[in-house]
Amino acid sequence: MNAHVQIRNLNAFYGDNRALKDIQLDIPRSQITVIMGPSGCGKTTLLKCLNRFLELNDGTRITGQVLVDGEDIYAPGVDVTEIRKKTGLLAQRPYPLPMSIYDNVAYGLRIHGIKKGRELEAAVRHYLEVAGLWEEVKDRLHAPATGLSIGQQQRLCLARGLAVEPELLLGDEPTSALDPISAQHIEKRLLDLKQQYSVVLVTHILRQAKRLADYVIFMYLGEVVEAGPAHEVFEHPRQERTRAYLEGQF
Amino acid sequence: MKRRQLEEGFFKVLMILSYALVVGILGLILVTVLVKGLPALNLAMLTQTPKGGYYLGKEGGILNAIIGSLYLAGGATLLALALGLPIAINLGAYLRKSRLAGAVRLALDVLWGIPSIVYGAFGFTLMLALGMRASLLGGILVLALLELPILTRAMDEVIRMMPAEIEHASLAMGATRLETATRVVIRQTLPGIATAILLAFGRGIGDAASVLFTAGYTDRLPTSLMRPVASLPLAVFFQLGTPFPEVQQRAYAAALVLTVIVLIVSLGSRWLAGRLSRFVIR
Ligand SMILES: Nc1ncnc2c1ncn2[C@@H]1O[C@H](COP(=O)(O)OP(=O)(O)O)[C@@H](O)[C@H]1O
Ligand SMILES: [Mg+2]
């Protein structure tokens, strides 16, 4: 397997509470990896370890290694902003920035040095198109982002995240706040995007996992119970607990 | 069942009464100032400085105090903002719930509670030590000190109320904390910041005790930072202290002008906050 992210002996703590226990994982490149497991098993915590977000919570601690393209993102001296730039994030609920639709997408570009009008405009349009939002907003680019429906806001967040050209996309139940049509939109985008990006998606919707996953990770109480290609895990789970979860016994 | 309804009714009446009390007091103050001040309020009051014999009831106005107060409170608010905004951002976006932040908040809250006459006395002592005389600059500095805790804590509260996810969205794109603070946090909290500025300005322009020794008083318009300057609260104070009814009435006119200025700033900031909240995420 061509691993984009390699996780070695990863432990994560909230104070004394050990939320992740000796995680060993390889996350494949240019595929959709789905993380499943009952609520509280550590899915969100694992995602937060991949873009150095866990440290935003006070009192958290990590041991072990997370290698992205072979480089330890927790090594001393690494530039956190550089790590985060390479890792896009779609949250559970979309939170646009307090600015116009246009500026939401331009924000990351401006921060990373693209300031010229023409170049900026072209880039904003491109990423809105990639996120499948351009047609709906092209006439009101300078209106507040809050005027969009929640589904459109999530696609705006996708465009905004893609604009800084990440290599890895993280989604923490990104469709759970959306209506079914909007959720479908996002799913379709993710399928299109996996050619260019490695996607890691947390979901508790089994059917969504089956529609999207190339690779599946099943977690339980802070541990990885089973990880493997989607068809194998879904059709022939090796672990009893995975089977129980897939049969809806949690 | 009966008893619970009685309780409910009792507290409803209590609520209405306390509401009426608040509105009643506000109304009473406004009516007093209007009734007593309006007869003395004319164009000369607003456009002239005191002429000879003004304090005996002769011609002139309180333009010196109007302009003086605007300079004092305006200058102090700008200065307090220049100092307070970085503190508030540092508290809200960097220190957040750390122990240092707690200590800074406690210090600011204590400062907030200190009576303004103490600020005045402190400023006066300091100015004496520095060999400064009562002046516009002295008044601005002391008023800025008085406004700083109000402004900073009010801004700190709005910054803390902001959903962390908005900040996270910016950080997730590889923005630094400073970029996030200046480009996102301030935009999101702009309406709250406008309200905080109004609050501080209102406290500054209405305060008499802190400018009494530090800014002094003069019948002239302010021309220099180093010269004394008049202010509306002191204009009210001095004129109310004379034995002449005409002059006392002018004190109420000055109070009316002060109230109207605060009202205009208040409504203006409401309007501004409304405009600024167009982009705010709720
Ligand atoms: N901010 C926090 N402070 C303390 N404990 C937390 C915090 N967030 C999560 N946890 C704990 O970490 C464990 C994993 O949580 P989480 O990663 O959010 O699970 P999931 O996303 O799978 O529902 C849970 O036991 C939870 O109680
Ligand atoms: Mg979660």
Q: Does residue A145 surpass a pLDDT of 90?
A: yes
The minimum-distance atom of ligand 1 relative to the CA of A57 is 1
CB atoms within 10 A of CB A127: 24
Q: Tell me which of A171 and B97 has the higher pLDDT.
A: A171
Q: Which atom of ligand 1 is nearest to the CA of A202?
A: 21
Are the CB atoms for B258 and B205 separated by under 8 Å?
yes
Residue pair A169/A88 in contact (Cβ under 8 Å)? The answer is: yes
Per the CB < 8 A criterion, the answer to whether B72 and B211 are in contact is yes
The whole-number average pLDDT for the span A195-200 is 94
Superfamily name and number for B62-279: MetI-like (1.10.3720.10)
pTM, entire model: 0.86
Yes or no, beta carbons of A85 and B173 under 8 Å apart: yes
A39 in ligand 1 pocket by Cβ < 6 Å? yes
Q: Please check the confidence at residue B59 and state whether its pLDDT lies above 90.
A: no
What's the mean pLDDT in B256-274? 91
- Give the residue whose CA is nearest to atom 18 of ligand 1: A44
pLDDT in tens, B72-83: 999 999 999 999
What SS3 class is residue B226? Answer: coil
pLDDT digits (tens, 9 = 90+) for A209-242: 999 999 999 999 999 999 999 999 999 999 999 9
| Residue A175 to residue A158: CA distance in whole angstroms | 12
Question: Across the A/B interface, how many CB contacts are shorter than 8 Å?
Answer: 84
**What per-residue confidence (pLDDT) applies to B125?**
94
Amino acid at B33: V
Domain coordinates in residue numbering, chain B: 62-279
Residue B93 pLDDT greater than 90, yes or no: no
Q: Are B165 and B120 in contact (CB under 8 A)?
A: no
In the sheet with A223-229, reading across from the earlier edge strand, the strands are A87-90, A168-172, A198-202, A32-36, A215-220, A223-229
Number of residues that this document lists for chain A: 250
Contact A234 CB / ligand 1 (< 6 Å):
no
- For residue A72, give the 3-state DSSP assignment: strand
Owner of token pair 């109320």: B161
Q: What rounded mean pLDDT belongs to chain A?
A: 94
| Closest B-chain CA to A109 | B173
| Ligand 1 pocket, residue A42 CB under 6 Å | yes
Q: Within 10 A of B45 (CB to CB), how many other CB atoms are there?
A: 19
pLDDT at A91 over 90: yes
Query: CA-nearest residue of chain B to A51?
Result: B172
Task: Report how far residue A19's alpha carbon sits from residue A9's, in angstroms, rounded to the nearest whole number.
Answer: 13
Interface pTM (ipTM) of the complex? 0.93
Burial of A17: CB neighbours in 10 Å, binned 0-12, 13-18, 19+: exposed
